[in-house]
Amino acid sequence: MNFEKYFMGKIRSVVDKYGVKGRIAVALSGGKDSMAAFHALTKFKFELIPFYIDLGIEEYSKACMEYAKKICDILGYKLQIIKLKDYGIDLSKARKKCSVCGTAKRYLMNKFAFEHDCDYVATGHNLSDALTFAFNNLASVNILNFRGMKPVLPGNKDLKMAGRFKPLFYLKDDECMEYVKMNEIPYCKEKCPYARDAPTIELKEWIHEMERKRNGIMLNFAKSFEKIEEMMTRQQKIRQCSICGYPSYGNICKFCKLRRKYGKI
Ligand SMILES: [Zn+2]
């Protein structure tokens, strides 16, 4: 089987298994994975709305945005842009930058998808990311964070929650890279200046090292984690944030707490 067919087949297996269809907001970060996901999704019968979240990380965010614009020009789409600064959050002033950034991105992606009446928001998370995230949570005994170890999570209109769709969930880092190269997709090679020493980098290398010794172990891990997630009953119920009305596990969502801290509410 040729590579392109293999790659598209992995995405199709997610689409078919979960019956993904309709309007999809595509979160572009400018990096290789989200660009590959967007490029591949244009080959399906979806209505796609690409968007970019400008995190305001100096030159890095500007460079990433240029690449996101470039792929939209190539594929004939208009890029929508959201600025984190418009919400009063300045990452350069945050102490736990990666955690603030993660919360803000998850929130804004969902808000964008919901406001644009999308059934899903698609992200570039691949198999390598999913396993790194899962093992990192296991390493810190953070079992509740197992939520989300699935390629598709359904939405809930009453809770202002868009569905989540990870088309590259069964594809590894190097496979996404190969797809990007084969299709000459432009992407930002820079890494986020805040995430250079993230402990997860070594974890990812370790997972890939195991995969080299035992081909297929990554896919099996992912399938096991997916089953564990299905077996786990949610300990916390999702409700609506009392300030903004978007989904939250507590009375006030994490994003509104952040805005409160930075003085905009
Ligand atoms: Zn809120």
| pTM for the model | 0.88
Res. 235: pLDDT tops 60: no
- Say which DSSP state 42 is in: T
Distance (angstroms) between ligand 1 centre and the Cα of 1 equals 47
Alpha-carbon distance of 153 to 47, in angstroms, equals 18
**Average pLDDT over every residue of 30-42:** 97
Question: Within 10 Å of residue 98's Cβ, how many Cβ atoms?
Answer: 14
Alpha-carbon distance of 251 to 103, in angstroms, equals 16
pLDDT at residue 31 in the model: 95
CATH number for the domain spanning 255: value is 3.40.50.620
List the domain range (segments joined by +) for residue 140. 3-261
- Say which DSSP state 156 is in: B
Distance (angstroms) between ligand 1 centre and the Cα of 95 equals 21
Distance (angstroms) between ligand 1 centre and the Cα of 245 equals 6
**Average pLDDT over every residue of 33-56:** 97
Identify residue 260 by its one-letter amino acid code: R
Distance (angstroms) between ligand 1 centre and the Cα of 247 equals 7
Alpha-carbon distance of 152 to 122, in angstroms, equals 9
Distance (angstroms) between ligand 1 centre and the Cα of 56 equals 21
- Distances 163 to 89, 157, 186, 242 between C-alpha atoms, Å: 25, 9, 28, 21
**Average pLDDT over every residue of 149-166:** 93
> What percent of the chain lies above the pLDDT cut of 70?
95
Per-residue pLDDT tens for 89-147?
988 888 888 889 989 999 999 999 999 999 999 999 999 999 998 898 888 887 766 66
Res. 43: pLDDT tops 80: yes
Alpha-carbon distance of 254 to 143, in angstroms, equals 19
Question: Phi, psi (5° rounding) for residue 52?
Answer: -130, 135
pLDDT at residue 265 in the model: 62
Distance (angstroms) between ligand 1 centre and the Cα of 208 equals 38
Per-residue pLDDT tens for 159-207?
999 999 999 999 999 999 999 999 999 999 988 888 766 678 889 999 9
Structural domain count of the chain: 1
Alpha-carbon distance of 222 to 242, in angstroms, equals 35
